[in-house]
Amino acid sequence: MNEQRLIKRILAGDAAAERALYDDHVDRIYRLTYRMTGDETLAEDFTQDTFIRAFDRLQWFEGRSALSTWLHSIAVSVVLNGLRKVKRFRQRETALDETTGGGVVGKSGDPELKRSLHRAIDELSDGLRLVFVMHDIEGYKHQEIAAILDVPEGTSKSRLATARGQLRDCLTQPDSRSIREERL
Amino acid sequence: MKHDRLETRQQQAAQEYHEPPSPPRERMWARIDAARADQRRLVRPPVWHTGRFWWPMAAAAALAIGFLSGRFTAGPDPEQANQVLTENSEQGELTAPTDLVELPVAEAENHLVGSDGPDGPINDGSSAEKPPAESPRHQLDPQIYRYAAAPVFSRAELLLTRFRAGEESPSNGDGFSHQASGLLAETRLLLDSPAADDRQFRRLLIDLELVLAQIGQLTTTRPTEDREWIADGLQQRSLLPRLRAQMPDGTTMAHISGGTK
């Protein structure tokens, strides 16, 4: 359905139109919030919050960007603000990975690489992790990322390069924890 | 910048980072719908109510007006107050009696012990009294009380988010209980205010009161099952989305508290 028509119907109070907007975008937004939080409850929370805010502000949407871009901007804001509130979340998630990931061969076939890489991704700042997750994991294009984050496309590329560089540095450094475990 | 891409194996491993399950569409939509139903009952505020500068001013003014009107409509014996006034006026000066009933507001503010003035809290050393049943409720727009509720809701949102994320533990459980108890008292004040005349708003306050009371009773010795039961209750009541829906646009916990915890 044409975006403008959908928005008009939503603003007129059409419940089916609201649900259509939700169905069109919920999967992608949920995937993004889950990738950033790694927690089902938080991902649901942030996804819900995104749509509640979007419906509340829809009357001020001017159509200068795609509706999807606008929705993702709200989702990014909700996630980043929410993560600041739950600071210790990522440390708990890393601990869980360490205790439950041993000996499991994932699709990559290298559990140690997976553990190290995931730990390294957790260590990235929220901003760098967001761009890395969006581009390298979820497949967003730089043009879309730049529009969502309201930054130049060059900034999106630069942040991604910085994130990749930090990840490579983490992976090439000897992992003192795993070496200790092997010795034991 | 393809030359700086991760190796193929690393890219494959990255795909498994926080791999998402299928989204629980119906469950999330039900909560969104519930929060939207609450929202639809709010009157959209005039433009000057929005903005980071005006809503704290409105909240502070509402609380001050509420306290003042409560203090001056509260009823001790009017005859006693009149007698004091008469005696004082005969002496040629007007001083505040212990119980403030008949004095004009401006003069009473000047004589209150520990008062910060019209915009601050009032502490005259006397215990707070409930207004008598027959005294009229003030005619302020209940919307003002909802804006006064926003800081309470924001602190509750932070507490409940941290509780559900599992930050509450036997080592800091007493701290959580203490915070919850403080918020519980404020929630009950809101329940007694005209803002609770609105049925949906009242229902939200009642649900919040219940959860805060449960958390307030948690001690370090209570079993984990109690915590899980409270967290389940939070989920079923869709309390967090409903709280967030009540907060004015642009209000974040970081802004209100002056920093995140």
For the stretch A99-113, pLDDT in tens is 444 444 445 568 888
Helix B25-40 with B199-216: angle, nearest 10 deg: 120
Amino acid identity, residue A123?
A: E
CA distance B20 to chain A (A): 6
CA distance B104 to chain A (A): 44
Q: Which residues of A touch B35 (CB under 8 A)?
A: 48, 52
d(CA B147, CA A172): 53
CA atoms within 13 A on the CB side of A176: 0
- Rg for chain B, CA atoms, rounded: 25
d(CA A54, CA A51): 5
Q: Which residues of A touch B18 (CB under 8 A)?
A: 34-38, 118
d(CA B159, CA B242): 15
Place of tokens 């989204």: B23
Per-residue confidence (pLDDT) for residue B100, from 0 to 100: 38
Q: Which residues of A touch B27 (CB under 8 A)?
A: 44
Per-residue confidence (pLDDT) for residue A93, from 0 to 100: 52
d(CA A165, CA B4): 8
A18 or B123: which carries more pLDDT confidence? Answer: A18
Mutation for testing the A interface, residue in B4, B12, B18 having most A CBs under 10 Å: B18
Contact flag A48-B36 (C-beta cutoff 8 Å): no
CA distance B84 to chain A (A): 54
Per-residue confidence (pLDDT) for residue B130, from 0 to 100: 46
Contact flag B21-A85 (C-beta cutoff 8 Å): no
d(CA B223, CA B218): 9
Q: Is the pLDDT of residue A130 over 70?
A: yes
Q: Please count the residue pairs, one from chain A and one from chain B, whose beta carbons lie less than 8 angstroms apart.
A: 135
Across B188-201, average pLDDT: 81
Q: Is the pLDDT of residue A41 over 80?
A: yes
Structure tokens at A55: 């419906």
Looking at every residue in chain A, the average pLDDT score rounds to: 85
Query: What residues 2-21 of chain B have any CB closer than 8 A to a CB of chain A?
Result: 4-6, 9-18, 20-21
Contact (CB, 8 A) for A51 and B27? no
**Predicted complex ipTM:** 0.82
d(CA B105, CA B35): 41
Per-residue confidence (pLDDT) for residue A34, from 0 to 100: 96
Q: Which residues of B touch A117 (CB under 8 A)?
A: 10, 13-14, 17
Q: What is the DSSP string of B160-189?
A: HHHHHTT---TTTHHHHHHHHHHHHHHHHH
**Sign of torsion over alpha carbons A33, A35, A41, A44:** positive
Percentage of the residues of chain B whose pLDDT score is greater than 70: 54
d(CA B250, CA B247): 9
CA distance to B57, B105, B196, per residue, from B205 (Å): 23, 31, 8
Give B169's pLDDT tier (boundaries 50, 70, 90): low
CA distance A184 to chain B (A): 26
For the stretch A78-94, pLDDT in tens is 999 998 887 655 555 55
Structure tokens at B59: 């909240």
CA distance A147 to chain B (A): 19
Amino acid identity, residue B209?
A: E
Contact (CB, 8 A) for B5 and B11? yes
Across B168-192, average pLDDT: 76
d(CA B32, CA B84): 58
Contact flag B21-A40 (C-beta cutoff 8 Å): yes
Q: Is the pLDDT of residue A121 over 90?
A: yes
Total-model pTM: 0.54
Across B28-32, average pLDDT: 95
CA distance to A156, A167, A170, B2, B232, per residue, from A161 (Å): 9, 10, 14, 9, 42
Structure tokens at A61: 């949407």
Looking at every residue in chain B, the average pLDDT score rounds to: 68
For the stretch A132-180, pLDDT in tens is 999 999 999 999 999 999 999 999 999 999 999 999 998 887 654 444 4
Q: Which residues of B touch A161 (CB under 8 A)?
A: 1, 4
Contact flag B1-A161 (C-beta cutoff 8 Å): yes
| Count of all residues that appear for chain A in the document | 184
Per-residue confidence (pLDDT) for residue B255, from 0 to 100: 40
B112 or B212: which carries more pLDDT confidence? Answer: B212
Tell me which residue of A53, A57, A93 sits closest to A75, measured CA to CA.
Answer: A53
Structure tokens at B111: 């004589």
Give B49's pLDDT tier (boundaries 50, 70, 90): low
Across B62-69, average pLDDT: 79
Of B10, B17, B244, the CB nearest to A49: B244
CB contact set of A74 (below 8 Å; sequence gap of 6+)? A50, A53, A54, A57
Residue in A closest to B247 by C-alpha? A53
Per-residue confidence (pLDDT) for residue B53, from 0 to 100: 63
CB contact set of B107 (below 8 Å; sequence gap of 6+)? B94, B96
Q: Which residues of A touch B6 (CB under 8 A)?
A: 136, 164, 167-168
- Is B243 in a helix, a strand, or coil? helix
Q: Is the pLDDT of residue B132 over 90?
A: no
CA distance to A34, A89, B15, B20, per residue, from A40 (Å): 7, 12, 17, 8
Percentage of the residues of chain A whose pLDDT score is greater than 70: 81
Across B135-154, average pLDDT: 69
Q: Is the pLDDT of residue B77 over 70?
A: no
Per-residue confidence (pLDDT) for residue B147, from 0 to 100: 75
Structure tokens at B107: 């003069």
Percentage of the residues of chain B whose pLDDT score is greater than 90: 8
